[in-house]
Structure 1
Amino acid sequence: MATPSLPSPDPLPQEQRFLDALDQDRWPATGHGGDLDEAALTPEALVELFESQLMSRHLDLQARRMQARGEGFYTIGSAGHEGNAAIARALRPTDPAFLHYRDAAFLIERSRQRPGQAPLRDLLLSFAASRDDPISGGRHKVLGSRGLNVPPQTSTIASHLPKAVGAAHSLGLWRRLGGGGEWPADSLVLCSFGDASFNHSTAQGALNAAGWAAYQGAPLPLVMVCEDNGIGISTPTPSGWIEASMGTRPGFHYLACDGLDLIDTWRTAREAAHIARHRKQPVFLHMRCVRLFGHAGSDAQQAYLSPSRIAADEARDPLLYGAGLLRRHGVLSRDEIASRYRRIGEEVARFAEEAIRRPKLVSAAEVMASIVPPSRPGRRLTDPVEVESAPLPGTMAKLLNQALQRLMASYPHLVMAGEDIGRKGGVYGVTQRLQARFGPHRVIDTLLDEQSILGLGIGLAHNGLVPLLEIQFLAYLHNAEDQLRGEAATLSFFSNGQFTNPLVVRIAGLGYQKGFGGHFHNDNAIAVLRDIPGLLVACPSNAADAVGLLQEAVRLADEAQRVVVIIEPIALYHTRDLLEEGDDGWCFPDPGPTHCLPVGELGQWGEGVDLAIITYGNGVYLARQAAAEIDPAGQRLRIVDLRWLTPIDHDAVHRAVAGCRRVLVVDECRRSGSPSEELITGLVERGMASERLARLTAEDSFIPLGPAATVTLPSRARIIERARELLAGA
Structure 2
Amino acid sequence: MSRHLDLQARRLQARGEAFYTIGSAGHEGNAAIALALRATDPAFLHYRDAAFFLQRARRVPGQTPLWDMLLSFAASAEDPISGGRHKVLGSKTLCIPPQTSTIASHLPKAMGAAYSLGLWRRLGAGGEWPGDSVVLCSFGDASFNHSTAQGAFNAAAWSAFQAVPMPLIWLCEDNGIGISTPTPEGWVAASMAARPGIHYLACDGLDLLDTWRVAREAVRIARSRRQPVFLHMRCVRLFGHAGSDAQQAYLPASRIEADEARDPLLIGAGLLRRHAGLDREAVAALYHRVRERVARLAEEAVCRPRLEQASQVMASIVPPPRPGRVQPWRGEVSTTPDTLARRLNQALDRLMTRYPHLVLAGEDIGRKGGVYGVTQKLQARFGGHRVIDTLLDEQSILGLGIGMGQSGLVPILEIQFLAYLHNAEDQLRGEAATLSFFSCGQYTNPMVVRIAGLGYQKGFGGHFHNDNAIAVLRDIPGLLVACPANGADAVGLLQEAVRLADEEQRVVVMIEPIALYHRRDLLEEGDGGWCFPDPGAEYRLAPGELGRWGDGRELAIVTYGNGVHLSRQAAARLQAEGIALRIIDLRWLTAIDHDAVFAAVADCARVLIVDECRRTGSVSEELMTALVERGLPGERLARLTAEDSFIPLARAATVTLPSVEGIVAHVRALLAR
TM-score by length of 2: 0.99
Q: Distance in 2 between matches of 1:391 and 1:603?
A: 20
Find the counterpart in structure 1 of residue 238 from structure 2: 292
After TM superposition, give the deviation of residue 632 of structure 1 in Å. 3.8
Q: Distance in 2 between matches of 1:386 and 1:272?
A: 48
Q: Distance in 2 between matches of 1:444 and 1:283?
A: 23
Find the counterpart in structure 2 of residue 492 from structure 1: 436
Match of 2:62, SS state, is coil
Find the counterpart in structure 1 of residue 25 from structure 2: 79
2:455 matches 1:511: yes
Match of 1:224, SS state, is strand
- Where do residues 370-449 of structure 1 align in structure 2 (5 Å cutoff)? 370-381=316-327, 383-386=328-331, 390-449=334-393
**Structure 1 residues not aligned, in runs of 5+:** 1-54
2:557 matches 1:613: yes
2:164 matches 1:222: no
Match of 1:521, SS state, is coil
* 1:274 aligned residue (189, 214, 220): 220
2:396 matches 1:452: yes
After TM superposition, give the deviation of residue 636 of structure 1 in Å. 1.3
Find the counterpart in structure 1 of residue 280 from structure 2: 334
Moved more, 602-611 or 323-332: 323-332
Find the counterpart in structure 1 of residue 507 from structure 2: 563
Find the counterpart in structure 1 of residue 97 from structure 2: 151
* One-letter amino acid of the structure 2 residue matched with residue 225 of structure 1: L
Find the counterpart in structure 1 of residue 582 from structure 2: 638
* One-letter amino acid of the structure 2 residue matched with residue 523 of structure 1: D
After TM superposition, give the deviation of residue 631 of structure 1 in Å. 1.1
Match of 2:589, SS state, is strand
* 1:528 aligned residue (472, 486, 497): 472
Q: Assess if the C-alpha contact under 8 Å between 1:608 and 1:634 holds in 2.
A: no
Q: Distance in 1 between matches of 2:191 and 2:555?
A: 63
Change (3 A) 1:452 1:493: same
Q: Assess if the C-alpha contact under 8 Å between 1:132 and 1:138 holds in 2.
A: yes
Find the counterpart in structure 1 of residue 616 from structure 2: 672
2:532 matches 1:588: yes
2:496 matches 1:552: yes
Match of 1:664, SS state, is strand
Q: Distance in 1 between matches of 2:120 and 2:357?
A: 9
Q: Distance in 2 between matches of 1:322 and 1:384?
A: 62
Q: Which deviations, in whole Å up to 9, do the C-alpha atoms of 1:585-618 show, x marking residues without a partner?
A: 0000000100000110000111111111100000
Q: Distance in 1 between matches of 2:408 and 2:266?
A: 43
2:259 matches 1:313: yes
Change (3 A) 1:634 1:178: farther
* 1:129 aligned residue (66, 75, 84): 75
- Where do residues 149-188 of structure 1 align in structure 2 (5 Å cutoff)? 149-188=95-134
Find the counterpart in structure 2 of residue 626 from structure 1: 570
Q: Assess if the C-alpha contact under 8 Å between 1:662 and 1:726 holds in 2.
A: yes
Match of 2:12, SS state, is helix
Match of 1:357, SS state, is coil
Match of 1:546, SS state, is helix
Match of 2:653, SS state, is helix
Find the counterpart in structure 1 of residue 305 from structure 2: 359
Q: Distance in 2 between matches of 1:386 and 1:166?
A: 33
Find the counterpart in structure 1 of residue 139 from structure 2: 193
After TM superposition, give the deviation of residue 263 of structure 1 in Å. 0.1
* One-letter amino acid of the structure 2 residue matched with residue 384 of structure 1: W
Q: Assess if the C-alpha contact under 8 Å between 1:514 and 1:710 holds in 2.
A: no
* One-letter amino acid of the structure 2 residue matched with residue 142 of structure 1: V
Moved more, 512-521 or 402-411: 512-521
Find the counterpart in structure 2 of residue 67 from structure 1: 13
Q: Assess if the C-alpha contact under 8 Å between 1:376 and 1:560 holds in 2.
A: yes
Match of 2:452, SS state, is strand
**Percent identity (aligned):** 78
After TM superposition, give the deviation of residue 681 of structure 1 in Å. 0.5
After TM superposition, give the deviation of residue 448 of structure 1 in Å. 0.3
* One-letter amino acid of the structure 2 residue matched with residue 466 of structure 1: V
Find the counterpart in structure 1 of residue 420 from structure 2: 476
Find the counterpart in structure 1 of residue 156 from structure 2: 210
Match of 1:504, SS state, is strand
- Where do residues 38-49 of structure 1 align in structure 2 (5 Å cutoff)? none
Q: Distance in 2 between matches of 1:634 and 1:436?
A: 52
Find the counterpart in structure 2 of residue 9 from structure 1: none
Larger radius of gyration, structure 1 or 2? 1
Q: Assess if the C-alpha contact under 8 Å between 1:502 and 1:561 holds in 2.
A: yes
Q: Assess if the C-alpha contact under 8 Å between 1:509 and 1:570 holds in 2.
A: yes
Match of 1:519, SS state, is coil
* One-letter amino acid of the structure 2 residue matched with residue 545 of structure 1: D
Q: Distance in 2 between matches of 1:163 and 1:601?
A: 32
Q: Assess if the C-alpha contact under 8 Å between 1:385 and 1:409 holds in 2.
A: no
* One-letter amino acid of the structure 1 residue matched with residue 423 of structure 2: N
Change (3 A) 1:330 1:414: closer
* One-letter amino acid of the structure 1 residue matched with residue 475 of structure 2: D
Match of 2:172, SS state, is strand
Match of 1:694, SS state, is strand
Q: Distance in 2 between matches of 1:471 and 1:145?
A: 32
Find the counterpart in structure 2 of residue 238 from structure 1: 184
Change (3 A) 1:444 1:481: same
Q: Which deviations, in whole Å up to 9, do the C-alpha atoms of 1:666-703 show, x marking residues without a partner?
A: 00000001000000010111111111111100000000
Change (3 A) 1:613 1:484: same
Q: Which deviations, in whole Å up to 9, do the C-alpha atoms of 1:486-536 show, x marking residues without a partner?
A: 100000000011000000000000000132120000000000000100000
Q: Which deviations, in whole Å up to 9, do the C-alpha atoms of 1:253-278 show, x marking residues without a partner?
A: 00000000000000000000000001
Q: Which deviations, in whole Å up to 9, do the C-alpha atoms of 1:619-658 show, x marking residues without a partner?
A: 0000000000001498610110000001111111111111
Find the counterpart in structure 1 of residue 657 from structure 2: 713
Q: Distance in 2 between matches of 1:384 and 1:500?
A: 27
Q: Distance in 2 between matches of 1:170 and 1:634?
A: 59
Q: Distance in 2 between matches of 1:129 and 1:181?
A: 32
2:220 matches 1:265: no
Find the counterpart in structure 1 of residue 202 from structure 2: 256
After TM superposition, give the deviation of residue 331 of structure 1 in Å. 2.8
Find the counterpart in structure 2 of residue 17 from structure 1: none
Q: Assess if the C-alpha contact under 8 Å between 1:514 and 1:708 holds in 2.
A: no
After TM superposition, give the deviation of residue 385 of structure 1 in Å. 4.7
Q: Distance in 2 between matches of 1:179 and 1:333?
A: 52
Number of residue pairs matched by the alignment? 673
Q: Distance in 1 between matches of 2:67 and 2:365?
A: 48
* One-letter amino acid of the structure 1 residue matched with residue 468 of structure 2: N
* 2:270 aligned residue (305, 310, 324): 324
Moved more, 359-368 or 656-665: 656-665
Q: Distance in 2 between matches of 1:306 and 1:63?
A: 25
After TM superposition, give the deviation of residue 245 of structure 1 in Å. 0.3
Q: Distance in 1 between matches of 2:599 and 2:59?
A: 57
* One-letter amino acid of the structure 1 residue matched with residue 607 of structure 2: V
Q: Assess if the C-alpha contact under 8 Å between 1:385 and 1:410 holds in 2.
A: no
After TM superposition, give the deviation of residue 328 of structure 1 in Å. 1.8
Q: Which deviations, in whole Å up to 9, do the C-alpha atoms of 1:151-210 show, x marking residues without a partner?
A: 000133111000111100111101100121011111010000000000001000000000
Q: Assess if the C-alpha contact under 8 Å between 1:611 and 1:660 holds in 2.
A: yes
